[in-house]
Amino acid sequence: MTPSASSNAERARKDLADRLGEIRLDAGLKGSQLARRLGWYPSKVSRIQNATTSPSADDIRAWCTACDAEDQAAELVQKLRAIEGMFVEWRRMERDGLRRAQESVRPLFERTTRFRAYSSWFVPGLIQSRAYTETVLRAVQRRRVTVDDVDAAVASRMERQQILHEGGRTFAFLIEESVLRSGMGGREVMAGQLGQLITVGSLPHVSLGIVPMAADRTRMPVEGFWIYDSAQVAVELVSGYLTLTQHHEVTMYAETFAEMAELAVYGAEARSVIALALRALG
């Protein structure tokens, strides 16, 4: 199982702070000596090194220069940029409404050729029905967004789904069986969504796996996530949107996906599980 997704950004910040601390030690400088060279208060050096304050790119360059480690500055600034993009609070991403958040991922989808998505909460957006999408986005808007542009956001997501029918891409979706029985939007919405899953699952370049609610399963559900090629992972949390690009983190999620895939059923078995959920709607 993956560690708590919300800890990844903090761990990355701590790793960067540790690197800066190592550079200072390699230069044979105490924190107070480095502060004098930089013209900073010693408390600023301490806060940066203890990861209580994030350095700016200029701070990193100045730090490396003062420690005669200019050759390391570019790499560390690149790490800083990656960290800054790792976690974005929903209130920041959605302050102008939901449509902008939907459109912001379009370039990522357009350049990706291999999609892998695992969901333990709801049906992944790329294979949602229009009514299901409207239900989900309306719930999001009511909970945390003051701007009501749900209709435009739904239209944007529906337009993005055209990528499913373009050549040169593969899609693998893993969905917990509990998602099929969530009752999202009520009977009519769920019936339409379950029918959509059967249709999408028949596409030749789409793999649809359902992870059954088995009493003897060996692995617990984890947070939902997307893997784009082998370059990037996106995790949707209650508080915000987490982006992971470091190789070891992407690998961790890819391994988790493979483990969950081993628990899933596919083809006729998956359709049977969906059919049971449909019948349970009454």
- Give the residue with greater pLDDT, 85 vs 95: 95
**pLDDT number for residue 239:** 60
Q: Does any domain span residue 230?
A: yes
Q: Is 145 helix (H, G, I), strand (E, B) or coil?
A: coil
Range of the domain at 41: 7-84
**pLDDT number for residue 4:** 46
- Digit-coded pLDDT (tens) for 69-93: 999 999 998 888 777 666 665 666 6
The mean predicted confidence, pLDDT, of the chain is 90
50 has pLDDT over 80: yes
Q: Are 108 and 120 contained in the same domain?
A: yes
Q: Among 35, 62, 84, where does a domain finish? A: 84
Q: Are 58 and 179 contained in the same domain?
A: no
Q: Are 75 and 55 contained in the same domain?
A: yes
Q: Are 138 and 236 contained in the same domain?
A: yes
Q: Are 206 and 265 contained in the same domain?
A: yes
Can you give the CATH number for the domain in which 58 is found? 1.10.260.40
Query: pLDDT exceeding 70 applies to what percent of the chain?
Result: 92
- Give the residue with greater pLDDT, 82 vs 52: 52
Q: Domain tally for the chain? A: 2
Q: Are 216 and 93 contained in the same domain?
A: yes
Q: Are 103 and 236 contained in the same domain?
A: yes
45 has pLDDT over 80: yes
Mean pLDDT of 80-109: 77
Strand order across the beta sheet in which 232-236 lies? 87-89, 240-244, 232-236, 225-228, 114-119, 170-176, 206-211
Q: Are 122 and 225 contained in the same domain?
A: yes
Q: Among 48, 64, 84, where does a domain finish? A: 84
Q: Are 142 and 241 contained in the same domain?
A: yes
Closest to 176 (Cα-Cα) out of 148, 146, 217, 147: 217
Q: Does any domain span residue 124?
A: yes
- Digit-coded pLDDT (tens) for 144-202: 888 899 999 999 999 999 999 988 999 999 999 999 999 999 999 999 999 999 999 99
**pLDDT number for residue 95:** 75
Can you give the CATH number for the domain in which 179 is found? 3.30.870.10
- Digit-coded pLDDT (tens) for 198-244: 999 999 999 999 999 986 788 888 889 999 999 899 888 766 678 88
Q: Among 67, 84, 101, where does a domain finish? A: 84
- Residue 279 in tokens: 């019948």
Q: Does any domain span residue 205?
A: yes
270 has pLDDT over 70: yes
Q: Does any domain span residue 272?
A: yes
Q: Does any domain span residue 166?
A: yes
Q: Are 116 and 229 contained in the same domain?
A: yes
Q: Does any domain span residue 134?
A: yes
Q: Does any domain span residue 2?
A: no
In the chain, which ranges are continuous DSSP H helix? 7-26, 31-38, 42-49, 57-66, 73-84, 90-93, 98-104, 106-111, 130-144, 150-160, 177-180, 187-201, 247-263, 267-280
Q: Are 135 and 44 contained in the same domain?
A: no
**pLDDT number for residue 104:** 83
2 has pLDDT over 60: no
* pTM, 2 dp: 0.74
Q: Between 267-280 and 187-201, two packed helices, what is the crossing angle to 10 degrees?
A: 170
- Digit-coded pLDDT (tens) for 127-142: 999 999 999 999 989 9
Q: Does any domain span residue 31?
A: yes
Q: Are 54 and 99 contained in the same domain?
A: no
Residue linked to tokens 């790329």: 126
